[in-house]
A and B are shown apart, each in its own frame.
Chain A
């Protein structure tokens, strides 16, 4: 039976290394054959906006890694609908590979998971 680890990200990539380190943990857990659900909510949804240019801030564009997650066996990337509804963003503004789920669905996923890590 595969271990299920849910990693919730509620910080944007512009808030220090939180986002980068959350994704690092997701990648390593997936490498250990865990089923990783990567869930974006609150300010974390800013990580999913397409066309970001971190180079303006002399930063590295960490967001690009989300596009390649499937190559590391992370197929379940979710976005909380209620978090999106609180912003002016539309799904067209975000990476297409991310699946929309409401709070109740995310709570169900969390209840089923072996581990829950919130960044």
Chain B
């Protein structure tokens, strides 16, 4: 694929349509044979990475939808470490360090630093789009 996108999402999964809009955007990119390198969740958007999210069954199950999309098209779902910990989205290691028995990070998401996003943005060949 000649062109690749990195997607930044900063909007809360419960307050806006941003996650659904971003998913539709990605599906369109894939249809046009444009690649997605990764999706980076920042600010309130990291809340989608909690495996304890339990919306009513007739509403979109966002972390499940993100999982399907990332597995189908081979891109990583990355969440910012500081934004995640600030909002109580913890991997097992951090949860135990903080005295909790279990972590709540969904298995499809990976906690990374802002440097991962900045490094991708520094690539002249990458296209960047922000959903908020």
Contact = CB atoms under 8 A, between A and B. Distances in A.
Interface in B46-82: 80, 82
B121 A21 contact: no
A1 B130 contact: no
B43 to A, nearest CB: 6
B43 A21 contact: yes
Contact of A119 (B10, B80, B122): B10
B42 interface: yes
Interface stretch (B13-21, B29-37, B112-120): B112-120
Given A18-B43, A24-B114, A25-B114, A118 B122 contact: no
B8 A117 contact: yes
B46 to A, nearest CB: 10
Contacts of A114: 121, 124, 128
Interface residues of B, number: 20
Interface string A15-29: 001100100110011
A1 B123 CA distance: 11
A51 B132 CA distance: 31
Contacts of B82: 21, 24
Contacts of A34: 118, 121-122
A114 B130 CA distance: 13
Given A3-B122, A18-B43, A32 B128 contact: no
A17 B8 CA distance: 17
Contact of A32 (B80, B118, B130): B118
A66 to B, nearest CB: 18
Given A116-B130, A118-B132, A25 B42 contact: yes
A72 to B, nearest CB: 13
Nearest to B119: A32
10 contacts: A3-B124, A5-B121, A29-B122, A31-B115, A32-B122, A33-B122, A34-B118, A115-B121, A118-B130, A119-B43
